[in-house]
Chains A and B, each alone.
Chain A
């Protein structure tokens, strides 16, 4: 049986981890100013709203696109730290990653009707992700920012395979 609560939890964990990884990546390589936080959050929100209405956004494409954007931003800010135009491109990347944060709820409601439980499990994943990010980042720092989004996205894509088989 598909464990949709676990899937929702894992998705929440992925969202908070990738969001905080974006933030710290930009704070380390562009600026710690409030503008960085504001740009990333706003872009993520816009991406989420757009994602809610993007009927054709497939689950694998949603996660994959988000991951691709994240590592593109990672490569860009690591190679060109503190360039003035990187924040704009990073905002675009965060927006693209945010698409799945909106579309996910539409996708999962198709599979799993209980809206309260979906938000509950996703939010639990999100706050556990906040704690995990803090522990992971302070203990591992850069390897965590590099590996954590990839591992979590990998687990999500695996889950997608199981969902497909069960469907």
Chain B
């Protein structure tokens, strides 16, 4: 459910923290109220809430779609999240204090009971953790029936009334027949109204170990890949992205060994393969790979690529442990909106990548936007690259709607080579010479392991802008106030 709300609100780290904190707040409410009500009130509210659980995750998706359709203020989403967080988690926090409190004649027996019951709860948590682990890369139709079955057991244990247990089980059985259909319909609804699609068809919706992975088809048949509600790519963008980040440098370098970090759709593999003697792909998320192979890069396209290898691993772990040296490293990863993604854009990471690059090896990075004279994401990533590498060239593509950076100890191509390689694909492509890069970075603070404020600032900026129409860049505002204060 936390993952679902993160998806509804779009998964920047700021949102992940807000949603997680809301669910813990729900637990606090449950603890606070646990001994305040009579048994009868507790039983009735427990029953109402567990029956409401049968509407999860569909009811809140429909409500979120309705909020979007009615153009309600962004606060409505936050209220919706808090209400559901309270409904979902508070009731389960009531049990432990009530059970410890009941039937405990003195302090010693209360402590003894607490030890037993809390141990059982923690063991239950571990078992639940294992079940969630089994549900990775599957739809909610796998985990919901298990969840409902567990709820039925809890109803039976808590109330000891067969009627309610049987009623719940029957309703759950009836509902479980249409989970997949309703899951896709409500997901489509959300994309139609909240993401402003004219028509949206859900082709895939699964939870991977790291994020919610969804593939949506619009009215023109175009495919979109969403990760935790954030657009990762669409099929036409993918062409431009692959052209600039993968095919172009590969054509220019003709690498012995190429490493592709990320690119879960595997769509850049066939683009790089003809120019490279060996291609190594490293992707962390098996869920994105599944979506990629099903909808973006059919398995046939990858068949027979015997000089290509795929490893499911963390990029930095792979770089640290591999013995290979690469002529080209392609960093096809999402924008630094979460801590983990930001770490892969830091100068420390680029230092690590540099240690696995040959003398004239190149790292290619997509910059998530156009490079400008400011302190926004593209400039900060280029600043990090510039601290580590001697030469950084940037191309600014209108077609791809973003810039791309190429960094090396000594770039094996120059502006003229780049122009020649790309002029047929995009006329008027802006190419920034390595000598001119520094002029763009006067305001930019390099992303580094001692400076990841971008995750907070960019996340807050997007979140407040999206839901509260607050002036852009709250961090800049705070910095302004601080400077003003100290100047005074």
Contact = CB atoms under 8 A, between A and B. Distances in A.
A9 B213 CA distance: 36
A33 B136 CA distance: 13
A135 B456 contact: yes
Contact of B450 (A30, A45, A142): A142
B115 A53 contact: yes
A34 B340 CA distance: 12
A137 B454 CA distance: 11
A27 B343 CA distance: 10
A134 interface: yes
Contact of A123 (B20, B24, B343): B24
Interface string A79-122: 00110000000000000000000100110011001011101100
A28 B343 contact: yes
Interface in A120-145: 120, 123-124, 126-127, 130-131, 134-135, 137-143
A139 B17 contact: no
Contacts of B416: none
A152 interface: no
A32 B122 contact: no
A61 B465 CA distance: 48
Given A81-B320, A109-B111, A115 B100 contact: yes
A60 interface: no
B101 A116 contact: yes
Contacts of A32: 284, 314, 316-317, 340, 343
A112 to B, nearest CB: 10
Interface in B97-153: 97, 100-101, 107, 110-111, 114-115, 118-119, 122-123, 125-126, 129, 133, 136
Contacts of B343: 27-28, 32
B114 A105 contact: yes
B314 A49 contact: no
B320 to A, nearest CB: 4
A138 B119 contact: no
B6 interface: no
13 contacts: A33-B317, A34-B136, A42-B126, A49-B123, A52-B119, A120-B28, A120-B32, A123-B93, A127-B21, A130-B24, A139-B453, A139-B456, A141-B452
